[in-house]
Structure 1
Amino acid sequence: MTTPPDPAGETFTERQQAVLDTVLALMVEQGGDVTMTAVARRASCSKESLYKWFGDRDGLLTATVRWQASKVRAGNYDRTRLDILALRDSLIRFAANWLGVISSPTSVALNRFAISQAGTRGSNLGAIMLANGRFAIGERLKPLLDAGREAGLLDFDDTETAFRTFIGLVGRDVQIRVLLGDRLSLSPSEIERDAARATDQFLTLCGTEKTGPGRNQTNA
């Protein structure tokens, strides 16, 4: 099995991935805080191994966020030969991955816990979530947006603004609804449909004359 790299350029072994999945499962079950002892017991490993692999508890939480965020990736594309079909497909892949992650029970539990800890003195989880979640995901998509601009397919002044526009079109109100308890359930086909629709809306807003014909041919 291929191990996806985390945003820091490191890789998690299959055993470490299993431990991080255990952290996410415990958060879903318990609705919040987890201890190193509980993780070690559920994952059938020693606390010494946890400290060796991840450092302290913040290190474990950081790795957990990175592991969750690593599931959000754009499709494969050749930056030197990027055309509208490849750009559109890569944007759809990213959007579908992101929608699937943010609407999952594990992501909801992780975000709810981070929000609950945001105003707590001494808690670093909010900063961990921002640095290794939202900001890391942004840095993963921005090269594709820049490549689209370099290829003459996209027209925007600021990459960060373009990223926020795209994410806004993709996410709509999904994340806030699931965080507030709405039993919103998106099937794979619905996620794919919403990702394609958001991508086409983004291309309408930020695309160039090169973009329109390619998109129309794709949708024909």
Structure 2
Amino acid sequence: MPASPSPSPALRRRQRVHDAVRELMAEQGFRISMDAVAARAGCSKQTLYSYFGSKQELMRSVMQEHLDMATARLDDQHGEHGDLRTTLLAFAMEHLQRLSEPHVITTCQLLSAEAALFPEEARTLYRDGCDTLQQRLAEWLDLAMRRGQLRHDDPHCAAELLLGMIVGLDFERQRFAVPHRDTDAVRRRWAEFAVDAFLRAFAPGTQAPPTRSAIAFLPSASKS
């Protein structure tokens, strides 16, 4: 089997920049600057602006990479005859493993503490991260519903429910430094429990509640 080609200099530079952003966000939260990113990545600020255009676009690029990796399992087995349980378990494990990374916990703690001071940046980060993850999962579930693999229901509500079931309280346990699911074996047992419960709830042929829109479940600020 031939070796994979080496990444180009441009791709290596982009990865260094993305790594620098993730490290700095865990240290400085929303206060990171293009100067700090350039220094950490070993490039000039002019190079950053030529590649990304602005700090906002740089942050969006980092989040896009994170989401692409988080949802890659859904893309891998998106075929009509793909096994839903296998795909959702792989997605759940990827999601749990990423949330368990120490720098992710540290970053989330810091960003939560600073959100009131940087409301616009916080809303943008949430939209580009959590909202987009829910949207991608909802689109995947919607296809499964239309194929008859899941009971037809509101895919956005189903996506939010599944994400909540996958994470449970473990992210909060980690944020507050109390015992949590710290091994892949324990995380997998929880992922299997959550995915199997979800699949039972949305099994084809089960009775769906009265039709309603996901918008009814959103905070008022999100409806406008």
* TM-score w.r.t. length of structure 1: 0.77
CA offsets per residue over residues 20-57 of structure 1, 9 Å max, x none?
A: 111112333x2533222222112111111111222222
Q: Which residue of 1 aligns with 2:210?
A: none
Conservation of the 8 A alpha-carbon contact between 2:93 and 2:188: yes
Does 2:108 match 1:119?
A: no
Deviates more, 1:91-100 or 1:110-119: 110-119
Secondary structure of the structure 2 residue equivalent to 1:24: helix
The one-letter code of the counterpart of 1:27 is: M
CA offsets per residue over residues 43-76 of structure 1, 9 Å max, x none?
A: 1111111112222222222222222232211342
Q: Which residue of 2 aligns with 1:52?
A: 50
Secondary structure of the structure 1 residue equivalent to 2:148: coil
1:71 and 1:41 map into 2 onto residues whose CA distance is: 26
Secondary structure of the structure 2 residue equivalent to 1:80: coil
Match of 2:144 among 142, 145, 148: 148
2:24 and 2:179 map into 1 onto residues whose CA distance is: 20
Q: Which residue of 1 aligns with 2:40?
A: 42
Q: Which residue of 1 aligns with 2:185?
A: 189
Conservation of the 8 A alpha-carbon contact between 1:154 and 1:208: yes
* TM-score w.r.t. length of structure 2: 0.76
Provide the identity percentage. 25
Match of 2:104 among 99, 104, 107: 107
Q: Which residue of 2 aligns with 1:88?
A: 85
Q: Which residue of 2 aligns with 1:208?
A: 204
Conservation of the 8 A alpha-carbon contact between 1:79 and 1:147: no
Q: Which residue of 2 aligns with 1:169?
A: 165
Residues 13-52 of structure 1 correspond to what in structure 2 (within 5 A)? Answer: 13-28=11-26, 30=27, 32=29, 33-52=31-50
Query: CA 1:77–1:97 in structure 2 vs 1: closer, same or farther (change >3 Å)?
Result: same
Instruction: Quote the offset at 1:117 in angstroms.
Output: 2.9
1:62 and 1:139 map into 2 onto residues whose CA distance is: 16
Conservation of the 8 A alpha-carbon contact between 1:61 and 1:125: no
Q: Please report the RMSD computed on the Cα atoms of aligned residues, expressed in angstroms.
A: 2.5
2:80 and 2:62 map into 1 onto residues whose CA distance is: 34
Instruction: Quote the offset at 1:197 in angstroms.
Output: 1.9
Secondary structure of the structure 2 residue equivalent to 1:71: helix
Instruction: Quote the offset at 1:134 in angstroms.
Output: 0.8
1:64 and 1:191 map into 2 onto residues whose CA distance is: 26
Structure 2 gap segments, 5+ residues each: 207-224
Q: May I ask how many residue pairs the two structures share in their alignment? A: 196
Secondary structure of the structure 2 residue equivalent to 1:79: coil
The structure with higher relative contact order (CA 8 Å, sep 6+) is 1
Q: Which residue of 2 aligns with 1:98?
A: 95
